[in-house]
């Protein structure tokens, strides 16, 4: 959230706040920054949203939504900033820009430290749990004389141990 947006909210510049929210969704369709901005503005501006009015465009089937339709929805939202139109715009963005959302999320995930200490501990616990389950299956398979269960249990045990060890040595 930019200082400019915060100032627009504090100065009660509704049009600037609304445009910034629309542009935020368009520039980052994941909605991550948008959600933070919307929460901030909505908590401080009791008149952020207008009463919903009829759209000036025809709603087309979802499988026909494209960038041109998305732009029409955005333009209509600028003219009538209602909760309903904002929710619809968000849905259209998520459909039309689905590939962009995946790309952004993938890029963001690769830019972060892959294994924080907290995540490393969670992964290690999962590995230990999987290994324990594999050990139980192996023992049951041996006791019952079921070789397939013994093999599956052993594979799970090895997988769990591998997960636990790798989570410990990752940097």
In this prediction, residue 15 has a pLDDT band, given cuts at 50, 70 and 90, of very high
- pLDDT over 60 at 171, yes or no: no
Q: Which of 166, 122, 156 shows the shortest CA–CA distance to 136?
A: 156
Mind giving me the DSSP string for 61-121?
Answer: -GGG--HHHHHHHHHHHHHS--HHHHHHHHHHHHHHTHHHHHHHHHHHHHTS-S--HHHHH
Give residue 130's pLDDT band: very low, low, confident or very high (50, 70, 90).
low
Which comes out higher in pLDDT, residue 113 or 44? 44
Between the alpha carbon of residue 61 and those of residues 11, 58, 69, the distances in Å are 40, 10, 11
pLDDT above 80 (res 150): no
Q: Write down the mean pLDDT value for the chain.
A: 84
pLDDT of residue 102: 86
The pTM score is 0.62
**69-118 pLDDT per residue, tens:** 999 999 999 999 999 999 999 999 999 998 888 888 888 776 655 555 66
User: Alpha-carbon distance 55 to 62, whole Å?
Assistant: 16
- Tell me what the mean pLDDT of segment 46-66 comes to: 93
Is pLDDT above 80 for 52?
A: yes
């Amino acid at each position: 959230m930019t200082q400019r947006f915060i100032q627009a909210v504090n100065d009660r510049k509704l049009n600037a706040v609304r445009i910034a929210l629309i542009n935020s969704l368009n520039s980052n369709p994941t909605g991550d920054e948008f959600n933070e901005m919307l929460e901030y503005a909505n908590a401080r501006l009791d008149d952020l949203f207008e009463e919903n009015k009829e759209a000036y465009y025809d709603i087309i089937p979802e499988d026909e939504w494209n960038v041109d339709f998305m732009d029409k929805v955005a333009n209509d939202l600028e003219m009538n900033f209602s909760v309903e139109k904002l929710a619809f715009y968000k849905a259209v963005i998520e459909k039309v820009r689905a590939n962009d959302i995946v790309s952004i999320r993938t890029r963001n995930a690769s830019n972060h430290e892959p294994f924080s200490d907290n995540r490393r501990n969670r992964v290690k616990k999962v590995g230990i749990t999987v290994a324990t389950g594999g050990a139980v299956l192996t023992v049951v398979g041996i006791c019952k004389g079921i070789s397939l269960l013994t093999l599956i249990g052993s594979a799970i045990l090895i997988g769990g141990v591998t997960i636990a060890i790798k989570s410990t040595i990752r940097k």
